[in-house]
Amino acid sequence: MSTVALKTVILGAPGSGKGTISARILNKFKLEYVSSGDKLRQNIQQKTSIGLEALKYISEGKLVPDDVMINFVSSELRKLPTKTWLLDGFPRTVTQARALWEKEKLDLAINLIVPHEVIISRVEGRWVHLPSGRVYNDTFNKPKVPGKDDITGEPLTKRDDDKPEVIKKRLELYETLTRPVIDFYREKKILIDFFGKTSDEISPQVLDCINKFLLDSKNN
C-alpha cells in the first residue's frame, strides 16, 4: 500500500458509485476517508441531535442545510490525524464548496459520470452496513452471506432514502444544486471526469489517475 499526500473529493450523482469506488481507493492508497452520508446515518442510528435534525431532510431526499453540514464536516475533518483525505458526499452545493475551499485547497476532484437509468436500477438492490458504511448490492458485490456484513457478520439494512420516489427527488436535487459544484472545481482546474456504466470500468481509471497525480507531485 502506498502512502499519499492528497486532499481530494469524489463527486457524482446518488448511486453513481462514490462509496464503492472510494473503498477501492482506500484498498490501494493510505488515506483518511470521510463520507458525509455515512456519518449522518451513523448519527441517526445513535439518535444524536444532528442525527435527529438530519433525518427530517434525508428521509425526504432533501439536502441537510448548508450551515449544519459545513460545521459538521469541518469538525469531522479536524478529527483526522493527517491532512491526507478523501471526502465523499461533501460539498453538495456551491456554498459548501466555497466554505471548504476557504479552509482547504484541494488537489483533486474526482467526478463520476454514470447514466441515470443505470443508477436507478442499482439503488433498488443496495444494502448497507451502517456502522462501517460498507455497501453491497443484490446483483453486484453481493455479501458472502445474504443479509450479513462480510467483515463483522452484523445485519445489513436498507437505506430509507433508497425508495424509488425519494431517489427520484435526490437525482433532481443533484442536477439543480450539486451540478454547479462540478463547474466550481472545473474552474479551479482540479476536476477530472470519469465515464462508465460500471464501477469495474471506472475504478481502474480513477486508481490510475491518483497514481499519476502522485508521480507528478513527486517529480515537481
Residue 114, CB half-sphere, CA atoms under 13 Å: how many? 26
186 a catalytic residue: no
Q: Establish if 91 lies at the interface with Mg ion (CB under 5 A).
A: no
| Minimum distance, C-beta of residue 61 to ligand G5P, in the bound complex (Å) | 6
Continuous H helices in the chain: 18-28, 36-45, 49-58, 66-78, 94-103, 116-124, 164-173, 179-187, 199-219
**Buried (b) or exposed (e) across 88-108, using 16+ Cβ within 10 A?**
bbbbbbbbbbebbeeeeebbb
- Which positions touch ligand G5P (CB under 6 A)? 12, 14-20, 36-37, 40, 57-58, 61-64, 69, 89-92, 96, 122-123, 125-126, 135-137, 139-141, 161, 170, 198-200
Query: Is the separation of the CB atoms in 14 and 123 below 8 Å?
Result: yes
Q: Which of 19, 61, 91, 196 binds Mg ion (CB under 5 A)?
A: 19
Nearer to ligand G5P, 172 or 208 (CB): 172
Which residue(s) pair with 30 in the sheet?
A: 3
Nearer to ligand G5P, 107 or 125 (CB): 125
Question: How large is the greatest C-alpha to C-alpha distance in the chain, in angstroms?
Answer: 49
Sheet strand arrangement including 191-195? 32-35, 85-88, 7-12, 108-113, 191-195
Q: Which does 185 bind (CB under 5 to 8 A by kind): ligand G5P, Mg ion, none?
A: none
**Which triple of cell numbers denotes residue 205?**
481509471
| Minimum distance, C-beta of residue 63 to ligand G5P, in the bound complex (Å) | 4
Q: Which does 15 bind (CB under 5 to 8 A by kind): Mg ion, ligand G5P, none?
A: ligand G5P
179 a catalytic residue: no
Active-site option among 7, 41, 126, 134: 126
**Which triple of cell numbers denotes residue 54?**
438530519
Active-site option among 18, 188, 189, 218: 18
**Which triple of cell numbers denotes residue 18?**
462514490
Active-site option among 7, 41, 92, 122: 92
Nearer to ligand G5P, 3 or 46 (CB): 46
Count CB atoms within 10 A of the CB of residue 139: 9
Which single residue brings its beta carbon nearest to ligand G5P? Answer: 37
159 a catalytic residue: yes
Active-site option among 7, 41, 122, 159: 159
218 a catalytic residue: no
92 a catalytic residue: yes
Active site residues: 18, 92, 126, 159, 170
Which residues make up the interface to Mg ion (CB under 5 A)?
18-19
